[in-house]
Homo-oligomer: A and B are copies of this chain.
Amino acid sequence: MPTVELHVLSGYNPQEKQRLGDALTKAVRFVVPAAPELVTVLIHDMPAQDYYRGGVSRKPALARRDPEEIVRTFLGEMADRSLDRAQQHLSPEFTMQFPGTQPMSGLQELIEWAAPRYRYVAKTYEGFDAMQGPGDAAIVYCRGTLSGEWPDGTAFEGIRFIDRFEIVDDLITRQEVWNDIAETRAKV
């Protein structure tokens, strides 16, 4: 029955603490095979006046936004072709890597590249995996199936895909995409 105590400056809201509770529980269970209900997390919220480093009180850093939520929002806006809003989630260093082409960096570039490949495409999600990477980037995976229409108007569906995102400072710095579109087209 591992018990985790986190001492952290006050200023995180219940949703952010819930994310901490969840992430710390998973961190323990990544190594210790305890049933989830045997892992307790206690968050000791320290008001600034109760927390000193080098004898100096400190301000809490704003929590990172939930990177999975950032990706879900971005993908939703891309699906709606709300490119302006989607763009706001992208870092100036953003690059994306789609199958069979060079890395791209602009959403408009992506739209143009995709145009001859399918009329439209929609994602059905099967699951997300999200974690902090070893550096500053959070990693988010999204997988599921694609449906849509080929350029000739025939429909497709059930084509497997997976996307990998890196998020730094609440902005997406990298998107990598793999899918079975070519596999499917080859069969067609």
Q: State whether B100 touches A26 (Cβ < 8 A).
A: no
A152 at the interface (CB under 8 A from B): no
> Are A40's CB and B53's CB within 8 A?
yes
Q: Taking chain A's interface residues, is the majority helix, strand, or loop, or is none over half, making it mixed?
A: mixed
Given contacts A27-B24, A63-B32, contact A42 B49 (CB under 8 A): no
Residues of B within 8 Å of A22, CB to CB, are 52, 55
**A52 — which chain B residues lie within 8 A by C-beta?**
18, 21-22, 24-25, 40-41, 43
Which single residue of chain B is at the shortest CB-CB distance from A58?
Answer: B1
Q: Which of A1-48 contact B (CB under 8 A)?
A: 1-9, 12, 14, 16-47
Q: How large is the interface on A (under 10, 10 to 19, 20 to 34, 35 or more residues)?
A: 35 or more
The residue that A63 contacts in the complex, of B4, B31, B58, with Cβ under 8 A, is B31
Contact of A32 among B26, B55, B64 (CB under 8 A): B64
Query: Are A16 and B31 touching (Cβ within 8 A)?
Result: yes
Q: Could you tell me which A residues sit within 8 Å of B by CB distance? A: 1-9, 12, 14, 16-47, 49-58, 60-64, 67, 97, 99-100, 129-134, 138-139, 141, 143, 160-162, 164, 169, 176, 178-187
